[in-house]
A and B are shown apart, each in its own frame.
Chain A
């Protein structure tokens, strides 16, 4: 008996090692693919698409920290996005500070903005946080429109064009933009992984399963959610700065609008909330969707794009409430299983 148990264990260990080796190989191929991807694309327009994908991986990933892991649905992440974008661009324009520095300042500004919202809303259970975030983004949009001496009102702000100036986060080729966006997206996903395995991550899981029980064993749920929101807001702000820097122009309606908030949330929801890779998958699907509707209808029909988003959201909730990632996972697991059998592993 004891002997067979031991062999069983070593079998499992061998099997585990083989699977891990395979996963490592797949991950290596995926990373190599991401690194050479822009060189495979026929023209800069496609590079632009993958840059937007990477930025939305970062935005959706940041939203996922509070929306997915924290279970607190924000429909006002544009507030953090726009704050980062506006604070950075105003500083760049007024004081000639390098965007490499304002990237951090924009993130911190978004973080500071998130603190009172967290303190006020997370004492309460219910839809208050969602409503407050919608209100926050809308109030900021109106304030930016109102104080036009500072913000240039509805016309928005532009980043002064300096040509190829790497120290000012400006390049005349799209390639550097791509790699920086990939670093940003990867950073958000790695931070999410760190967070998931940290004390905070475990707290959030416990709160998500049963808040009262979590409180009973001494977890401060308001504090944990507040920390998740602060982290999420910081990363969203940084991504907002980078977005402004890449597109050279920001408007109040685009940066603080409900449309942006919904796009950010949708990336995570469609991909799968509360998972590390969900937002990455969601961003790829959403951006392909956006671009194909734009190519198909050439932007002639305003509203169609977001209407399709809304339809996608309703469909996902009705038929795939956990997003599409679980689909991909089961498909991937079957693939790994088949690869194992082919390589002659024990059944």
Chain B
């Protein structure tokens, strides 16, 4: 095995890990605060991709600029989903909550299929093909930007959660709902914020990959599944864990593609899930 090919795969994996981290953090934030497992999270990524694609296609808006639109749009979408679809079933059994988010996922996936057909779409940008060569390894700039953008957003979220009052309130609700209510925090508003933020982060991840990834209605299934593995490996509810786990998943997927074939990357990710559940079901940050 040629060392440069190996390094190339390693770097591709690390760069992709930034995106997985962003999707996973959103998922784990929603779970941590609202205690709902969002099976529609991959579809939030897909929506972000389509918003970005159409902004570029119709008005020529650069994908990175469109972050300023995608994130607020997805934030509002998440808030609406929480207010009208999740809020009514918060006290329902787990099973009903899973059914609900699965139903939302099915609707979003197929509404997109219905509106935009199953066509694979992609954007063409002046810098699409730009590559940065380091030694024998070539790094596509769009992937590097996606990674840097993801790290920047994850950092901003961490600052928000640790330094602002609203962020602290959000964490308080995640830690103990009853006590946070005694402190005068309205948990239902925090739920709206958490789902909004989670959706906005997923949408941002979608935007960041559009320059080098095909846009199609079922693209979210893969991201949803990977996000789940990231979140379980990184311990449900833990943001640091999600960051670490996304690195493992991204690199493993990339090496899996290198060694097993381009269509088996997800099988490797599934294998990670199985291994995690067998040996450390509470995840890397877990107690047990």
Report which A residues bind B (CB closer than 8 A). Answer: 71, 73, 75, 120-121, 123-124, 126-128, 130-132, 134-136, 138-139, 142-143, 145-146, 258, 262, 269, 273, 301-307, 309-311, 313-314, 316-318, 321
From B221, which residue of chain A is reached at the shortest CB distance?
A258
From A302, which residue of chain B is reached at the shortest CB distance?
B113
- Is B68 located at the chain interface by the 8 A CB criterion? no
CA distance A71 to B102 in the complex (A): 16
The reply to whether A303 and B98 form a contact with Cβ atoms under 8 Å apart is no
The reply to whether A142 and B263 form a contact with Cβ atoms under 8 Å apart is yes
Nearest Cβ on chain A to B100's Cβ, whole angstroms? 5
Among A269, A302, A311, A318, point to the contact of B118 (Cβ < 8 A).
A302
Nearest Cβ on chain A to B192's Cβ, whole angstroms? 18
CB contact under 8 A between A302 and B267, given known A73-B98, A134-B225, A307-B106: no
The reply to whether B98 and A130 form a contact with Cβ atoms under 8 Å apart is yes
The reply to whether B266 and A139 form a contact with Cβ atoms under 8 Å apart is yes
28 contacts between A and B (CB under 8 A): A121-B277, A128-B232, A130-B37, A130-B98, A131-B225, A131-B273, A134-B228, A135-B269, A135-B270, A136-B270, A138-B266, A146-B264, A262-B102, A273-B95, A301-B114, A303-B112, A303-B113, A304-B114, A307-B110, A309-B106, A310-B106, A310-B108, A310-B109, A313-B99, A313-B103, A314-B85, A317-B96, A318-B100
Q: How many residues of B contact A (CB 8 A)?
A: 47
Among A142, A262, A269, A321, point to the contact of B266 (Cβ < 8 A).
A142
The reply to whether B107 and A314 form a contact with Cβ atoms under 8 Å apart is yes
CA distance A139 to B226 in the complex (A): 12
CB contact under 8 A between A317 and B110, given known A123-B281, A124-B277, A135-B270: no
From B228, which residue of chain A is reached at the shortest CB distance?
A131
Nearest Cβ on chain A to B237's Cβ, whole angstroms? 11
Q: Which residues of B contact A136 (CB under 8 A)?
A: 270
- Is B136 located at the chain interface by the 8 A CB criterion? no
The reply to whether A143 and B267 form a contact with Cβ atoms under 8 Å apart is yes
- Is B111 located at the chain interface by the 8 A CB criterion? yes
The reply to whether A306 and B95 form a contact with Cβ atoms under 8 Å apart is no
B257-282 at interface with A (beta carbon < 8 Å): 261, 263-264, 266-267, 269-271, 273-274, 277-278, 281
Specify which of A301, A307, A321 lies most central, judged by the most chain B CB atoms within 10 Å of its CB.
A307
CB contact under 8 A between A132 and B107, given known A146-B263, A317-B100: no
- Is B5 located at the chain interface by the 8 A CB criterion? no
The reply to whether A321 and B277 form a contact with Cβ atoms under 8 Å apart is no
Nearest Cβ on chain A to B265's Cβ, whole angstroms? 9
The reply to whether B277 and A306 form a contact with Cβ atoms under 8 Å apart is no
Nearest Cβ on chain A to B252's Cβ, whole angstroms? 14
Nearest Cβ on chain A to B175's Cβ, whole angstroms? 18
Among B117, B225, B236, point to the contact of A135 (Cβ < 8 A).
B225
The reply to whether B95 and A73 form a contact with Cβ atoms under 8 Å apart is yes
- New A-B pairs, 9, CB < 8 Å, besides A305-B110, A309-B106, A311-B103: A123-B281, A135-B270, A138-B225, A139-B266, A269-B99, A310-B108, A313-B106, A314-B100, A314-B103
CB contact under 8 A between A146 and B99, given known A136-B270, A258-B221, A306-B109: no
Q: Which residues of B contact A130 (CB under 8 A)?
A: 37, 39, 98
CA distance A134 to B39 in the complex (A): 10
Among B107, B225, B273, B278, point to the contact of A310 (Cβ < 8 A).
B107
Q: Which residues of A contact B65 (CB under 8 A)?
A: none
CA distance A146 to B100 in the complex (A): 33
Nearest Cβ on chain A to B268's Cβ, whole angstroms? 9
Nearest Cβ on chain B to A120's Cβ, whole angstroms? 5
Among B37, B99, B264, point to the contact of A127 (Cβ < 8 A).
B37
| 6 A-B pairs with the lowest CB-CB distances in the bound complex, closest first | A303-B113, A310-B106, A313-B103, A310-B107, A307-B110, A303-B114
CB contact under 8 A between A306 and B267, given known A73-B99, A123-B281, A258-B221: no
